[in-house]
Amino acid sequence: MTDYIRERYVKPLYLNVLHGNFLGLGKEDLDAFVDSTTVALYEVTEEETIQMYNSNWRYTITASWLCGIGRLSHHLNKIETLLIPSETWYAGQFHCFALARFDGAESVRVLRSYLDTYLPAGDRQYDQEWAIGALWWLDRRHGTDYAQVYLKNSDNWKLRSRRGEEYGVLRPEEGILHFQKVMDFVDQYFPEFAT
């Protein structure tokens, strides 16, 4: 991984992309983040994007942020191979984002496959709230109702120890609301890529 990719694209973006932290930025930091994202959208090459997808979660979250905004759906297969095994922390959040932005039947298939794999949650607290948010968002756009299959069973969202003891719950409704805010942010600050 080149120092250039890290310094030019990853470092200026990944911490603010993580969890959608950009939603809480003050004006000065927000302007810098939007500017850095805009520069990256127009400068990052296909080769650099592939290099980011073949690195650690900081790079992959950045790659999916940029591919999602730019709707670079030819990266869908790579995103699927990263999302479904869920081997890295946090990156799945913006893999789900990118899939929603690609806005197609293949995105729905991948999101459903992810939810089928990681629900009921049990002792696996990964990116289920992001996946349900993305699927719900796609449902609203296309008049479908795939998300309801996962939402109607509250046991899907319970966190349990390996011994089966319940210790918490994921909050899909909050995931849906947060995801909508992320999508609204992109439409507001990157109107040339608006949905």
Predicted local distance difference test score (pLDDT) of residue 80: 97
| β pairing state of 158-160 and 166-169 | antiparallel
118: tokens are 């990681």
Predicted local distance difference test score (pLDDT) of residue 62: 98
Rounded distance, CA 42 to CA 65, Å? 13
Predicted local distance difference test score (pLDDT) of residue 195: 76
Predicted local distance difference test score (pLDDT) of residue 85: 93
Whether residue 69 contacts residue 91, with contact meaning beta carbons closer than 8 Å, is answered with no
| Omega before residue 85 within 30° of 0, cis | no
DSSP per-residue codes, the chain: --HHHIIIIIHHHHHHHGGGGGGG--HHHHHHHHHHHHHHHHH--HHHHHHHHTS-HHHHHHHHHHHHHHT-GGGHHHHHHHHTTT-SSSHHHHHHHHHHHH-SHHHHHHHHHHHHHH-S-BT--SSHHHHHHHHHHHHHHHT--HHHHHHS-GGGGEEE-TTS-EEEE--HHHHHHHHHHHHHHHHHH-GGG--
Alpha carbon separation from 53 to 61, 116, 122, 147, 148 (Å, rounded)? 8, 24, 28, 28, 31
Predicted local distance difference test score (pLDDT) of residue 1: 57
Predicted local distance difference test score (pLDDT) of residue 87: 86
With a cut of 50, list the residues of the chain below it in pLDDT.
none
